[in-house]
């Protein structure tokens, strides 16, 4: 690694990611030029969704291009390199899809994706997405408030938390690596889940959400690190006790249950004070040289969510 890369804060794993990303980008460009749109599989075939109403409080910063948001991904079930999820997205079978809802609620059941989606009007919300690896994007998601979905299952008074699980298919190419204890699990306190900012995304950029981004439905919790936004959900459970969550199980001193974006609480290996914004035209190599910007407390959503943590020491409950 060259000294100027170290000075710029670029790690060797980012260089590998970048090489994979550039190869993938070159392949897409070549395939598109040759008219081989089938080559890009789900990307090219993504169905438009609508009608979509626009949420009034969307982030107004420059949006990340669809190309970057759908080719630079973290989805370990599909592989650990940033370019793996898009390459392996066709291995994720999303039709048919069902979701089990259980635990502390009066209307549990097994629901088809159609059952889940039917009553919900679709909204576009542009949110900042901040990964604990200190990069960020600005993405227009399509979906509905998580609270509107959860209320349908009538959580009872014992429901203090809600947990989520991703499809546990041992044939998915990333799941042999045992980097995490599968299935991928995440959880929120019930008041966090019911907060109006918590969102269930079924699309992005006006199209059905592609496999690499968590088809057919994934969580988006914009004030928390990206790993809380669990993809490809097959189970929702209401619980009395705080549920186990994947990254916390793998390294509890590195990843807390709350995982609220907080520039003052550094991860042991990454300062969280700044982030590299992947937006606009910053694709390819230039993405690595995007100027770092200051990270914001709660990813800029502090005013909306501060009341949830009023009496808590956020350094202890990180």
The footprint of ligand MTE (CB under 6 A) covers 73-77, 129, 131, 166, 184, 213, 226-227, 229-232
**Which residue has its beta carbon closest to ligand MTE?**
226
Tell me the closest approach of the beta carbon of residue 244 to ligand MTE, in angstroms.
14
Q: Is the Cβ–Cβ distance between 314 and 257 less than 8 Å?
A: no
Nearer of residues 104 and 205 to ligand MTE, judged by Cβ: 205
- Give the residue ranges of DSSP H helices in the chain: 3-7, 12-33, 42-45, 66-69, 84-88, 113-117, 146-151, 190-193, 246-250, 285-288, 302-305
How many angstroms separate the CA atoms of 295 and 207, rounded?
29
Nearest by Cα to 136 from 301, 303, 261 = 261
Q: Is 31 helix (H, G, I), strand (E, B) or coil?
A: helix
Tell me the closest approach of the beta carbon of residue 127 to ligand MTE, in angstroms.
11
Tell me the closest approach of the beta carbon of residue 57 to ligand MTE, in angstroms.
21
Tell me the closest approach of the beta carbon of residue 136 to ligand MTE, in angstroms.
9
How many angstroms separate the CA atoms of 180 and 134, rounded?
21
Nearer of residues 111 and 184 to ligand MTE, judged by Cβ: 184
Residue 25, Cβ density class (10 Å: 0-12 exposed, 13-18 middle, ≥19 buried): middle
- Transcribe 257-285 into DSSP letters: SS-B--TTS--SSS--SEEEE--BT--TH
Nearer of residues 150 and 219 to ligand MTE, judged by Cβ: 219
Nearer of residues 74 and 88 to ligand MTE, judged by Cβ: 74
Q: Which residue's structure tokens are 């890009």?
A: 40
Tell me the closest approach of the beta carbon of residue 269 to ligand MTE, in angstroms.
14
Tell me the closest approach of the beta carbon of residue 74 to ligand MTE, in angstroms.
4
Q: Can you say whether the dihedral through the CA atoms of 28, 32, 36, 42 is positive or negative?
A: positive
Nearer of residues 130 and 195 to ligand MTE, judged by Cβ: 130
Nearer of residues 85 and 155 to ligand MTE, judged by Cβ: 85
Nearer of residues 18 and 104 to ligand MTE, judged by Cβ: 18
How many angstroms separate the CA atoms of 108 and 118, rounded?
17
Tell me the closest approach of the beta carbon of residue 259 to ligand MTE, in angstroms.
10
DSSP secondary-structure letter at 77?
A: G
DSSP secondary-structure letter at 64?
A: B
């Amino acid at each position: 690694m060259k000294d100027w890369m170290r000075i710029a804060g670029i790690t060797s794993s980012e260089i590998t990611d970048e090489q994979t990303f550039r190869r993938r980008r070159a392949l897409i460009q070549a395939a598109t030029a040759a008219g081989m749109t089938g080559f890009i599989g789900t990307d090219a075939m993504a169905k438009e969704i609508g009608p979509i109403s626009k949420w009034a409080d969307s982030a107004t910063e420059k949006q990340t291009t669809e190309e970057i948001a759908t080719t630079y991904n973290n989805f370990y079930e599909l592989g650990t390199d940033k370019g793996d999820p898009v390459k392996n997205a066709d291995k994720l079978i999303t039709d048919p899809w069902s979701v089990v809802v259980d635990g502390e609620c009066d209307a549990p059941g097994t629901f088809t994706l159609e059952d889940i989606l039917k009553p919900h009007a679709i909204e576009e919300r542009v949110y900042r997405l901040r990964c604990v690896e200190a990069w960020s994007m600005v993405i227009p998601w399509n979906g509905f408030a998580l609270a509107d979905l959860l209320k349908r299952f009538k959580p009872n008074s014992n429901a203090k938390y809600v947990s989520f699980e991703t499809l546990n298919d041992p044939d998915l190419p990333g799941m042999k690596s045992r980097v995490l204890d599968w299935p991928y699990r995440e959880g929120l306190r019930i008041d966090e889940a019911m907060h109006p900012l918590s969102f269930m995304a079924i699309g992005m950029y006006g199209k059905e959400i592609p496999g690499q981004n968590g088809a057919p439905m994934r969580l988006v919790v914009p004030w928390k690190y990206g790993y809380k936004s669990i993809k490809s959900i097959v189970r929702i459970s209401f619980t009395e006790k705080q549920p186990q969550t994947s990254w916390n199980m793998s390294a509890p001193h590195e990843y807390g249950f709350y995982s609220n974006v907080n520039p003052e609480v550094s991860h042991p290996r990454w300062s969280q004070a700044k982030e590299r914004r992947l937006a606009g035209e910053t694709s390819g190599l230039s993405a690595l040289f995007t100027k770092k910007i200051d990270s914001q407390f709660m990813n800029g959503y502090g005013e909306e969510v501060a009341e949830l943590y009023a009496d808590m020491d956020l350094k202890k409950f990180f």
